[in-house]
A = this chain, B = another copy of it.
Amino acid sequence: MKLNQFIEKYSKIIENNLIKLYNNKNGLPVIEEAMKYSLLAGGKRLRPLLTLMTCDLFDGSIDEVLPYACCIEIIHTYSLIHDDMPAMDNDDYRRGKLANHKVFGEGFALLAGDALLNSAYEILFDCIINDPSIEKIKAASIISKAAGLNGMIGGQAIDLYYENKKIDIEKLNEMHSKKTGALIKAALEVGAIISKASEEDLERIRIFGENIGRAYQISDDILDVIGTKEKMGKTIGKDAQNNKSTYVTFYGVDKSKNILFDTISNAKKALAYYDCKANILLELADFIAYRDT
């Protein structure tokens, strides 16, 4: 299967599964609407697709991996809601639509984020009750660690702390590797571990994950300078407006592109062992290098 076929087939399955997961709640309508508003806002579903891609590489069962993949997307979505709030990045738009707090107010946006994060763990425990295998438990633990203080939240904290402060390139790398990289790496690992990949396999996947996580962030920084609001669905040039340090402010656009291509090359090397069996992941790496949205 080619990358675009894979994405077309499985992003629909992910979408349907996300809709199903939030279909049977019996709470206050407004909070459920707020949760679904952001969750079903047409994201690229990169993270859950990565989980299904490593599942495919290691001949795992898509059905078994799917709820884990969706939980990662749910956690990613909560982080975007909280990140957009005035206390954090103060963004009015996300994925071409008004940010959650602009539609539902800050209170419900806060709670919708909390509820999404918490519901991911509710779903994970349900999965583990159904199948308490050590792979499933470890997969859930990996997700929780990637989302936490040593992962995504830690990265958000660094980002917030260095607003209007000078950051060096090491700290910038740490910030990116935690804020964006950790959950991307976890997405890949989870698909592999549930599909019973070996420790050597997992190590290769981690190296691939670290590199494409970094590449994704570099391309984000580049697109914030050379992208368009229409394609990106969010405000462009925000980093410069906010005096934010990025790869581009450190290295300029051209050198950042070179670093991006080197990083993609390192990612692909890590999967050379699997030859064309890893084609979808290799194509994905190229897609990140050349993406314009």
Enumerate chain A interface residues (CB-CB to B < 8 A).
25-28, 30-32, 35, 82, 85-88, 105-111, 113-115, 117-119, 121-122, 125-126, 128-129, 132, 134, 137-138, 140-141, 144-145, 147-150, 153-154, 156-158, 160-161
Contacts A28-B157, A87-B110, A105-B87 known; A134 to B129 CB distance under 8 Å? yes
- Please indicate the chain B residues that have their CB under 8 angstroms from the CB of A147 in the complex: 118
The main secondary structure of chain A at its interface with chain B is: helix
* A31 and B87 alpha carbons, distance in the complex (Å): 14
- Please indicate the chain B residues that have their CB under 8 angstroms from the CB of A107 in the complex: 87-88, 160
* A122 and B141 alpha carbons, distance in the complex (Å): 6
Query: B28–A115 contact, CB under 8 A?
Result: no
Contacts A128-B128, A141-B125, A148-B119 known; A161 to B30 CB distance under 8 Å? yes
Query: B132–A148 contact, CB under 8 A?
Result: no
Minimum CB–CB distance from A85 to chain B (whole Å) comes to: 7
* A129 and B136 alpha carbons, distance in the complex (Å): 10
* A141 and B134 alpha carbons, distance in the complex (Å): 17
Query: A122–B144 contact, CB under 8 A?
Result: yes
* A132 and B132 alpha carbons, distance in the complex (Å): 7
Query: B144–A118 contact, CB under 8 A?
Result: yes
**Which single member of B26, B108, B114, B121 contacts A144 (CB below 8 Å)?**
B121
* A157 and B86 alpha carbons, distance in the complex (Å): 20
Shortest Cβ-Cβ A-B pairs, 3 listed: A87-B106, A125-B141, A31-B157
Query: A27–B144 contact, CB under 8 A?
Result: no
Contacts A28-B154, A141-B125, A158-B28 known; A149 to B115 CB distance under 8 Å? yes
Query: B88–A157 contact, CB under 8 A?
Result: no
Query: A115–B153 contact, CB under 8 A?
Result: yes
* A147 and B125 alpha carbons, distance in the complex (Å): 13
- Please indicate the chain B residues that have their CB under 8 angstroms from the CB of A31 in the complex: 149, 153-154, 157, 161
Contacts A153-B114, A153-B115, A157-B108 known; A134 to B132 CB distance under 8 Å? yes
Cβ-closest chain B residue relative to A141 = B125
* A157 and B30 alpha carbons, distance in the complex (Å): 8
- Please indicate the chain B residues that have their CB under 8 angstroms from the CB of A122 in the complex: 141, 144-145, 148
**Which single member of B111, B118, B134 contacts A160 (CB below 8 Å)?**
B111
Query: B125–A110 contact, CB under 8 A?
Result: no
* A215 and B140 alpha carbons, distance in the complex (Å): 36
Minimum CB–CB distance from A215 to chain B (whole Å) comes to: 24
Query: A153–B25 contact, CB under 8 A?
Result: no
- Please indicate the chain B residues that have their CB under 8 angstroms from the CB of A111 in the complex: 82, 88, 153, 156-157, 160
* A115 and B208 alpha carbons, distance in the complex (Å): 27
